[in-house]
Amino acid sequence: MQRHLITSAIPYINGIKHLGNLVGSQLPADLYARYQRARGNEVLFLCATDEHGTPAELAAAKAGKPVAEYCAEMHAIQAEIAKGFRLSFDHFGRSSSPQNHALTQHFAGRLADAGLIREVTEKQVYSNADGRFLPDRYIEGTCPNCGYDKARGDQCENCTKQLDPTDLIDPRSAISGSTDLEVRETTHLFLRQSALKDDLDAWIDSKTDWPVLTTSIAKKWLHDGDGLQDRGITRDLDWGIPVRRGDKDWPGMEGKVFYVWFDAPIEYIACAREWADAQGGADWERWWRTDKGADDVRYTQFMGKDNVPFHTLSFPATILGSGEPWKMVDHLKSFNYLNYDGGQFSTSQGRGVFMDQALEILPADYWRWWLLSNCPETSDSEFTWELFQQGVNKDLADVLGNFVSRVTKFCRSKFGETVPEGGAYGNAEQALIADLDTRIARYAALMDAMEVRKAAQELRAIWVSGNEYLQTAAPWATIKEDEARAAMQIRLGLNLIALYAALSSPFIPDTSALMATALGLQDLNWPDTAEDALTRLQAGQAFTVPENLFAKISDDDRSAWQERFSGIRE
């Protein structure tokens, strides 16, 4: 039995996430966690809400609520939606937890003791109208490079040039729109990432199985331009983890909090402590400390490409710099962007289909299947309602749903609601088993490699093989001349449904459970061979005919949804 620690990028607290966020981290992480559990491995699958920083404060102010109350409410909402999509987290934590406060302050103390934190007095933009220093991304103006008039103080989204707030032409507060800005001095702590550049470079070079997307982004940040820069880890904000050096005060840092991108990744570790505390004192260190048993853990992270620099450089710098035996990530699976109908999904602009809206119109498995089978692995991909309708109707309704319906209904009409007996496999059945053995092995290999789209294609091909067999065997014709052979054919068909239930469970867990229940199966053991899998249901075993597994999406439904989601979410 292997041990797998799995984390997905933690979603920000300011609102419900869209489908692009879902497929960029949480959903493929859940697929992998479900698959590893199905193979009998021990899994700890963790996620949390990212609750600190200016966006949380602004979202709370817009909602007219104290920020702590707002974050608590949004955590509950995001947790409920995650359940709706059947995301099988072992724990869904909070970066504002006491455990994360303690660990973040602990890491800061260790880094300071190692000489990896320095104080920097710098000039930052202060908004008199807002009465606060403005983080770079909350300053807008005209880009000096391309002339885009909504460039942010950290980067122009139009030309992607990295900027400082003072580079902007006609800067203004993105909070109030005020141009009454001035530059003031403030002192902050910086993590000396540059001192760890060689260590990080060697560590990244050791990850020969990482996706090209992951490695190329990390290397670009390490070597392009001036190379890896020291990074500020504190902010002048009210909401966040107070700056302390372990359990001691940090002179000169009174009233400041740790920068959200310093404390948020530490929540992966803190989340395990939260899980352990919720379990009544489970041993979380065996997952996270190599001196406490985590040396045999395989740690996999899932995230969108925009999160890669922080997870390949900043968070590893924190862990390496601490000098403590923390578990480092083994594999980082990164994804490109899922775009929406000719544009981009956007939480801030409310554009696209959001997770709560998706569940209002269709069950989770419809979305899980389409998103995973079209996930943006090697390049950006696009959601359109036409593609969604096509995928649901052809893959789920016509291939899988149709097979289950035809087999169970034919059996009920000719043999009753029990598995029929009689007949023996012939050449066609042996050929099918041999083909399935090859395909099951290939499917498992693709799942192990986290090749999500290719795994979905292989699973669909396994479904198709059953349909092709059924069409060729034609038990509705065979029964007129050889009832025993027809019984064997339909018994094989019922066992194929059991096989599909087991293999499909990581992708479409609700449908897999429905198929298993209809067949009277209490568990869905992963098949070692097709021959073993196709003898699970013995003659005489009772079954029921399930309701139609998937309803087709009509042209009218597609048009109505396309119109409903064509604008901006209020």
Question: Known binding site for ATP: residues?
Answer: 347
Q: How far is CA 397 from the centre of its chain?
A: 26
CA distance 28 to 338: 13
Distance CA 419, CA 408 (A): 10
* CA 188 to chain CA centroid, nearest Å: 33
Contacts of 432 (CB under 8 A, 6+ apart): 465, 469, 492, 530
Hey, what's the torsion of the CAs at 453, 455, 457, 458, to 10 degrees? 170
How far apart CA 56 and CA 260 sit, in angstroms, is: 10
Cα–Cα distance measured from residue 508 to residue 370, given in angstroms and rounded to the nearest whole number: 10
Could you identify the residue written with the tokens 């036409």? Answer: 386
Residues paired with 317 in a beta bridge: none
In the sheet with 343-344, reading across from the earlier edge strand, the strands are 343-344, 338-340, 381-383
Work out whether strand 3-8 and strand 297-304 pair parallel, antiparallel, or are unpaired: parallel
Task: Specify the 3-state DSSP secondary structure of 542.
Answer: strand
Q: Using an 8 Å Cβ cutoff, are 86 and 33 in contact?
A: no
Residue 232, token pair as written in the block: 């500020």
Q: List, as residue ranges, the binding site.
A: 143, 146, 156, 159, 347
The Cα–Cα gap between 407 and 490 comes to: 6
Q: Cα–Cα distance between 109 and 201 in angstroms, integer?
A: 24
The DSSP element (H or E) to which 262 belongs, if any, is helix 260-278
The DSSP-derived string for 333-350 is EEE-PEEETTEE-BTTTT
Q: Which residues have C-beta within 8 Å of that of residue 444, sequence separation ≥ 6?
A: 39
Q: Report the binding-site residues for Zn(2+).
A: 143, 146, 156, 159
Amino acid at 530: A
Cα distance between residue 140 and residue 169, in whole Å = 9
Residue with tokens 């867990």: 509
206: Cβ contacts below 8 Å, ≥ 6 apart: none
